[in-house]
Structures are given as C-alpha cells and as structure tokens.
Structure 1
Amino acid sequence: MRRKRPELPEVFVGRDAVREGALTASDLRGPRVRRLFRGVYCPAGVRVDHELRCRAAALTGEGALVLTGRSAAVVRGVELASASDTVDVIALPGCRVNRRPGLNVWRVAIETGDHEPWGNIPIARPERMTFDVLSTGPLIRAVADVDRILRAKLTTEARMTAYLEGRHDHGIVRAREALALADPRAESPPESELRVRMHDAGLHPELQLHIYAGGTFVARVDFGFEEERLVVEYDGDWHGKTSALARDRRRQNDLRKAGWTIHFVTKDMMVNPDAVIDEIHGALLRSRRRRL
C-alpha cells in the first residue's frame, strides 16, 4: 500500500518538503507549487498576498532578519504593500544575509527592544516600523502611509515624536519632516497626497471640518477654508454610485445654502497635481472677491 504523502503547509522550504516525502525534487519545478523566494514555495492553489510573502521571507533568513517597514504594517493590519511588492527586512547585526530577488534588505542598526517575535521571524515594534516607513520612499507616500498607520492606532504622533527625539539614524531628518506632515484624520491616501501638496503650496485648510449653519450641523468636509468659505473635496470612486448619489447631492445643496462654495478634485485630475493646486488657488481668489 502506497504511503500517503504529508500535506504541504501554505509556505515551506523546498528541500525540507523533499526530505519529508511530501514532494519530489522534480515537483519543485512543476505545476504543483509556486516559488516565492529561492528555495521557498507555496502550493499552487494558495492565494499569495503580501503577508504570505512575509511568512515566506521568514524561511529564507534563518533568524537573521527582522520584518519592518511597510511589510510589518501589512502584518499588523494596514495594507501598505501588495503581493508583488518586495518584503522589507533588516539584517540583524553580525548576520550574513545574501540578497535575494523579492527581499529589500536594509543593513542598519536595530536595537533588541525594537522588535518582537512573529512566527519564524522577528517583527519590528510599531514605533520602529513607523520610523522605517517615514524615512523611506517618496515623501508624499511616506506621509500617506503613516496617516494610515496613525489612523489604525498602531502608534500615535506623541509616541513617534518621543521615539525620534535624540536619534541620529540615517533618514532621521526625513522622518521628522514626514511626521510633521502626518495627520490621522485623513481618510484615504489621495486625501493625504492632496493635503501635502496644498501644504507645499502654502495652502492650509482645516482637515475634516465640521460645518454648521444657524447652530445646525450641515456636513463634514475633506478640506475647508473657513475665511473664504470654500470646501475642497476629493471625489473618490464612490461618488456617483446610485446608493450615494442622492445623499451626496443633498449634502452639496445644503453646503451651498449655507454659503459655501465647493471645489471638487478627482483621481484623474491628480495626474497633474500642479494644475490642481492652481485651480484651488483660483477658487480661493474667486471666493475672496465674492466676499468683498
């Protein structure tokens, strides 16, 4: 009677599966499995997302790696990376780690208290993870990503300020700059981008402003310039859907009745952010003239 092969886990080291009789060496080159990293695989039917890739990365480092940055954020519940993105890891001091496709290996100092166990790999604690997000990638993306981390309450602005105080790591200046621009009230990455671009242009609206008329609540808006009574709204994909259209139109009418002008920014418009900022400047000027 043929012995039943052991079932394959969601991620596994190929040579271990062969040694245990779950696969043959030729199976590792066939359709039954998918290679995630050199020597690390998953069964072909398993859905690959970034967290699975993080678990696979744990099998490549033999305890020499710490999961951090956007990859650690994914594990902690904030989707800052996709299945196709590289996995962010720090090589622990004194450990030799060969670079592999799909791994973004940082050779920087990390203190023992800055990480904790997660499965087969240590994971950066929230403040260290957030520092690594703040200090890497384009500034606008760093701010938008940290907005999401703060909104998820993985850490706070106060804890991050204290964590960054007195540090001299590579990237610390950029990290402080990005943290100063972060705001957990942002409800989407495009809103974060628009806020940062307005800030860079010298425009400082109130974020998530609650508008009242005669003591009655009218609406909460993405950005509000109170002196000019101008609302700037990022028009996301939900706008125009049947379930939301009537409610959205009532809201717009209520804002106009209360004396506010509405300027919309769409995803397509953000392809040319300089033009968006110019249009907001123009809307502000028109609002000021009307109020003279």
Structure 2
Amino acid sequence: MRMRRPELPEVFVGRDAVREGVLTASDLRGPRVRRLYRGVYCPTGVRVSHELRCRAAALTGEGALVLTGRSAAVVRGVELASASDPVEVIALPGCRVNRRPGLNVRRVAIDAGDHEPWETISIARPERMAFDVLSTGPLIRAVADGDRVLRAKLTTETRMASYLEGRHDHGIVRAREALALCDPRAESPPESELRVRMHFADLHPEPQLHIYADGEFVARVDFAFEEERLVVEYDGEWHGRRSALARDRVRQNALRKAGWQIHFVTKEMMVNPNAVIDEIYGAVLRARSARPRHL
C-alpha cells in the first residue's frame, strides 16, 4: 500500500520540509509548490493573499523586520493591500537585511515601543502602522486608507493626533495633512476620494447625514449640502439585485418629496474627477438659486 504524503502547511521553509522528509529537493522545483520568496513556499493549491505573503516574509530568516503600513493593516483585519502588492517592512536599526523581490524594506527609525512580536518577526502597533499608511503613497489613497483604519477602530483620530504631535520623522508633514482630511464615517474608498476632491474644490458637504422630514427618518445620504438641500450620492456597482434597486428608487422618491435634490456620481464618472467636481459645483449653484428667498 502506497503511503500518503503528509499535508503541507499553508506556508513553509523549503529546507525544513526537505529535512523533515515531507518533500524532496526536486519537489521544490516541481508543480506541487509555489515559491513566494527565496526559500519560502506554499502548496500550489493554496490561495495566495497578502496576509499569506506577510506570513511568508516572517519565514525568510530576516528576524530583524517589523511588519508595518498597509501590510500590518491587512494582518490586523483591514484589507489595504492585494496579493500582488509588496510586503511593507522596516529593518530594525543596526540590522542588515537582504532585499528580496516582493519585500519593500524601509530603513527608518522606529521606537522599541512601536512594535510587538508577531510570528517570527514583529508587527507595528496600530498608531505606528497608521503613521506609515498616512505618510506613504498618493495623498488621496493615504486618506482613503486612513479612513478605513479609523472606521475599523484600530486607532482613533485623537490617539493619532497625540502620536504625531512633536514628531520629526520623515513623512510627518504628509501624515498630519492626511489625518486632518480623514473621516471614519466614509463607507468606501471611492467616497473618501470624492470627499477629498470636494474639499480641495472648497466644497464641504456633511458626510453620512441622517435626513428627517416632519420628525420622520427619510434616509442616510453620502453627502449633503444642507443649506442648498442637495444630496450627492456615490452610486456604486449594482449586483443584479432588483430588490436593492427598487428600495433605492423608493428612497430617492422620499428624498425628493422631502424637498431634496439628488446628484449622482458613478464609478465610471470618477475616471474624470475634475469633470465630476465641476458638475457638483454646478449642481450646488443651481440648488442655491432654486431655494426660495425670504423677504
């Protein structure tokens, strides 16, 4: 009777698997496994996620690493990076770390109290993690990712403001700018982007406003210009559910009956964000001119 091979873990060091007799050296070059980093593998059938890549990075033998930024956010439950994104790490001071494809190694100062043990390396604590999110990448993405970190309650605006106070790290100015624009009420990255673009166009609606009419709840809207009684809604992708579309039509009718105008922004429209902002600005002016003037 042929013996069944032991099952492989989701991520493993190749030389360990060979030493333990689970695989042969030739198996490491065959179809049964997939190499994630030099010397670190996963079974071919395993779905490769960013979190799996983070765990693989911890097995590279580079124990002087701190997982941080968007990679640390993924491990903490907020999906800010995809499987194809490099794993973000900081090399601890005084430690030599070999650069590897798929591993984004930064050599910056990090306080001992800013990280804690994770797997065989360390992971940045939430405030340090959020700092590295806010201080890297394009500003709009930094704000959108910061919104998601705050919405997940990994940290708070107050704790972040306190953490950033008095610091002089590289990127601190960007981090403070991004934090000032963050809002945990945002329900999606496109909403965050739209809010930031409106802010820079000097348009400041109230996000996630609850609208009432005659004491009765009507709807919660993405953005509301209260004085103009104009709602701006980001219209995400429908998933073929007629019931959802029907509910939305009832909601729209209720808003209009309560005296509110509605302006929609779609994913396709955001390909040209400048045009979107121009249209919103025009809608605000039209709504403002349509409001009755009190003598």
TM-score, with normalisation over the residues of structure 1? 0.97
1:36 correspondence with 2:27: no
- In structure 2, C-alpha distance between the alignment counterparts of 1:133 and 1:180, rounded to whole Å: 14
Task: Give the aligned CA root-mean-square deviation in angstroms.
Answer: 1.5
Alpha-carbon distance in 2 for matches of 1:240, 1:16: 49
May I ask how many residue pairs the two structures share in their alignment? 292
Instruction: Output the CA distance in 1 between the equivalents of 2:285 and 2:7.
Output: 68
Residue 135 of structure 2 aligns with which residue?
A: 135
Which structure 1 residue ranges, 4+ long, deviate > 2 Å from structure 2? Answer: 1-8, 238-241
CA distance in 1 between partners of 2:214 and 2:7 (Å): 68
Partner in structure 1 of residue 97 of structure 2: 97
Instruction: Supply the distance in 2 between the matched residues of 1:239 and 1:258 (Cα, whole angstroms).
Output: 28
Greater Cα shift, 146-155 or 58-67: 58-67
Which stretches in structure 2 are left out of the alignment for 5+ residues? none
Deviation (angstroms), 1:58: 0.3
Aligned position for 2:121 = 121
Mapped to 2, the partners of 1:209 and 1:288 lie a distance apart of: 19
Matched, 1:277 2:287: no
Partner of 1:263: 263
CA shift, 1:242, in A, is 0.6
1:190 aligned residue: 190
Deviation at 1:247, TM superposition (A): 1.0
- The separation in 2 between residues aligned to 1:222 and 1:92, in whole angstroms, is 42
Kindly indicate whether the alpha-carbon contact (under 8 Å) linking 2:62 and 2:97 is maintained by their aligned counterparts in 1: no
> Unpaired runs of 5+ in structure 1?
none
Give the match for residue 235 of structure 1.
235
Mapped to 1, the partners of 2:108 and 2:187 lie a distance apart of: 32
Deviations 1:230-280 (A, max 9, x none): 000000113773121111111101111111100000000000000000000
Q: Which residue does 2:216 correspond to in 1? A: 216
Q: Look up the match of 2:79.
A: 79
Identity %: 86
User: Residue 268 of structure 1 aligns to which amino acid in structure 2?
Assistant: E
User: TM-score, normalising length from structure 2?
Assistant: 0.96
AA paired with 2:106? W
Give the Cα–Cα distance (whole angstroms) in 2 for the partners of residues 212 and 174 of structure 1.
38
Q: How far apart, in 1, do the equivalents of 2:287 and 2:240 lie?
A: 26
- Deviation track 1:19-42 (CA, whole Å, cap 9, x = no partner) reads 222211111111010000111101
Instruction: Note the 1:24-63 alignment, pairs <5 A.
Output: 24-63=24-63
- Residue 202 of structure 2 corresponds to 202
Residues 12, 42 of structure 1: 8 Å contact kept: yes
Q: Map Cα deviations across residues 78-101 of structure 1 (whole Å, 9 max, x no partner).
A: 001111111000001111111110
In structure 2, the CA distance between the partners of 1:19 and 1:252, relative to structure 1 (3 Å rule), is same
Q: Distance in 2 between matches of 1:51 and 1:239?
A: 27
Q: Could you tell which deviates more after superposition, 48-57 or 115-124?
A: 115-124
In the other structure, the counterpart of 2:174 is 174
Partners of 1:236 and 1:2 in 2: CA distance = 54
Deviations 1:159-217 (A, max 9, x none): 00000000000000000000000000000000000000000100000010111112211
Per the TM alignment, residue 70 of structure 1 is displaced from its structure 2 partner at its CA by 0.4
**Offset of 1:47 from its aligned partner?**
1.4
**CA-to-aligned-CA distance 1:37-82 (integer Å, 9 cap, x gap):** 1111011111111111000000114311010000000000000111
